[in-house]
Copies of this chain bind each other. A is one copy, B any other.
Amino acid sequence: MANEKIPYKVYLEEHEMPKAWYNVRADMKKKPAPLLNPGTLEPMTAEELGVVFCEDLVQQELDNDTAYFEIPEEIREFYKMYRPSPLVRAYCLEKKLGTPAKIYYKFEGNNTSGSHKLNSAIAQAYYAKKQGLKGVTTETGAGQWGTALSMACAYLDLDCKVYMVKVSYEQKPFRREVMRTYGASVTPSPSDTTEIGKKILAEHPGTNGSLGCAISEAVEVAVSNPGYRYVLGSVLNQVLLHQSVIGLEAKAAFDKIGVKPDMIIGCAGGGSNLGGLISPFMGEKLRGENDYEIIAVEPASCPSFTRGVYAYDFCDTGMVCPLAKMYTLGSDFIPSPNHAGGLRYHGMSPVLSELYDQGLIKATSVEQTAVFEAAEQFARCEGILPAPESSHAIRVAIDEALKCKETGEEKTILFGLTGTGYFDLYAYQKFNDGQMDDYIPTDEELAKYREKLPKVDK
């Protein structure tokens, strides 16, 4: 059998690693909607964006036409420290499920940040350094992005100020400690170090914080401190561009073994992993060269694709950021406190939102108990303790493989294993103790948040 020749893990050689990022927007006939200035409702200019973001990143953010951006030599060297990531054939999982499906995953957790976030963190830190800046500010929720950015900044000797959602800061002291080991300063958000933080604390004393609120604080610090800019780990076009390295490597590895996936599955919060994983495959789909079934998986407790609306919305709670057109639940939406892990942003990448709106991506939502069941099953036979985020994709990959078992189809399934769950063991403990529960927001709740969407006629 040809398949017996496929190794457990396919690694590219260094010289086979991507030398350019792929910009899927270049192949989209209908482009994603532009970011708008919340005051004028006109598209943000490069100059306006340059107050918040680094110059090169602004260009990447606005460029809908250039298909390939060369990866700078210094970033490629950094990538070599932890990339290429393996494309893994999940032989043990297939055997356990008794499925004729062929399951592959692209594993991004083999670096200390524990996730794919490092791919964009090093790029954003590099351009900040190139511009001669002193440092960058950001927010982090579950902590993967903050950790990744701390690592990138330590490598480049850049200052790194992280605003960490308060509840995570308290529940994940070890995440905080990793960031400190990499030299970052970590502040629980909301804090009294910013005007917006003080305002939120005054209005909501005792709040646990949220991503939207931490974003507002980080942006305020960036724009009010000379030599600083703000960086973000998901949602933005530039992030999807950098994360295309995941999909490009996966595609190259598949080509190397002569396999074409039928179905690509990824978890989706802000969209950084899914957007990166699917990019070259989506490019082929957009150009009519190949077809792939692409499935976004989101938590039932934060269902922006499956139950949100496609509209202009604020990216943050403090409304200091530009407006983005995206699938959104409303910028005040915060998932239920019993929601574990990341994937808790109220909106979705504008690129993915547009692709979804065009019917090029499907979406589904899953409940967290079922997600942890899949996580445990995967851990026991594949030897990797997956992050809760990644486990959303595992859940659907397992379900699809079990459908193949019924129908006899030998589908080739690829899913993104974005990271490891070493810092999510509170959630695993809850699951092990049978104390995990599920929460699905009601239609009434969602309607309440939707009412607050800004009125933008575009």
Contact surface of A with B, Cβ cutoff 8 Å: 7-9, 11, 13-14, 77, 80-82, 91-92, 110-112, 114, 118, 151, 154-155, 173-174, 177-178, 180-183, 376, 379-385, 420, 422-423, 425, 428-429, 432
Contact = CB atoms under 8 A, between A and B. Distances in A.
6 contacts: A81-B383, A92-B155, A112-B420, A173-B425, A174-B425, A177-B425
Given A8-B80, A177-B432, A432-B177, A155 B381 contact: yes
Given A8-B14, A11-B11, A429 B177 contact: yes
A9 B86 CA distance: 13
A181 B428 contact: yes
Stoichiometry, as copies per complex, reads: 2
A8 B112 contact: no
A435 to B, nearest CB: 13
A74 to B, nearest CB: 11
Contacts of A422: 114, 174, 422-423
A380 B182 contact: yes
Given A92-B155, A155-B92, A177 B81 contact: no
Given A81-B382, A82-B383, A181-B428, 8 more contacts: A8-B81, A111-B384, A112-B384, A155-B381, A173-B429, A174-B422, A181-B432, A182-B379
A443 to B, nearest CB: 35
Contacts of A82: 383
A425 B81 CA distance: 23
Which 5 pairs from chain A and chain B are nearest by CB? A174-B425, A422-B422, A8-B80, A154-B380, A112-B385
A118 B9 CA distance: 18
Contacts of A8: 14, 80-81
Nearest to A175: B425
Contact of A151 (B173, B183, B383): B383
Contacts of A111: 383-384
A222 to B, nearest CB: 23
Identify which of A11, A14, A173, A174 gathers the most chain B CB atoms within 10 Å of its CB: A174
A379 B81 contact: no
Contacts of A376: 181
Contact of A380 (B13, B91, B155, B383): B155
Nearest to A433: B180
B379 A181 contact: yes
A383 B112 contact: yes
Contacts of A380: 151, 154-155, 182-183
A339 to B, nearest CB: 19
A420 B384 CA distance: 14
Nearest to A111: B383
Contacts of A174: 174, 422, 425, 429
Contacts of A432: 177, 180-181
A383 B82 CA distance: 8
Nearest to A84: B9
Contacts of A77: 91
Nearest to A429: B177
A118 B174 CA distance: 24
A322 B128 CA distance: 62
